[in-house]
Amino acid sequence: MSTTELKELLIERIQKIDNEDVLTELYKLLDINAGELNIYKLTVSEKEEIYAVKKQVEKGDTLTNEEANNEIDQWLKK
């Protein structure tokens, strides 16, 4: 299939779509592939927080999934 044929098929299918959510997602996908992707830049404080968390992980200062879920349950009871 040629590029022109593929474009025509896509246009035909898009014209048949009435779902706004689907069209929005297609637009986003096309926008990303067009090279217009906005890359999020971390702030200094965000970078510092990531660094601090990495250090915690390196030290083994972490929670198991069960421990984390227990803490969440306690927070939600307050």
pLDDT of residue 29: 84
Domain annotation covers residue 10: yes
pLDDT of residue 34: 62
Domain annotation covers residue 39: no
Q: Domain span at residue 8? A: 3-33
- Res 38 pLDDT > 90: no
Residues 73 and 48 in one domain: yes
Domain annotation covers residue 50: yes
Domain annotation covers residue 29: yes
Angstrom distance (rounded) from CA 11 to CA 17: 10
Total domain count, the chain: 2
Angstrom distance (rounded) from CA 19 to CA 34: 23
Angstrom distance (rounded) from CA 34 to CA 36: 6
- The answer to whether the predicted template modeling score (pTM) of the entire model surpasses 0.75 is no
Residues 27 and 49 in one domain: no
Token pair 């999020």 is at which residue? Answer: 40
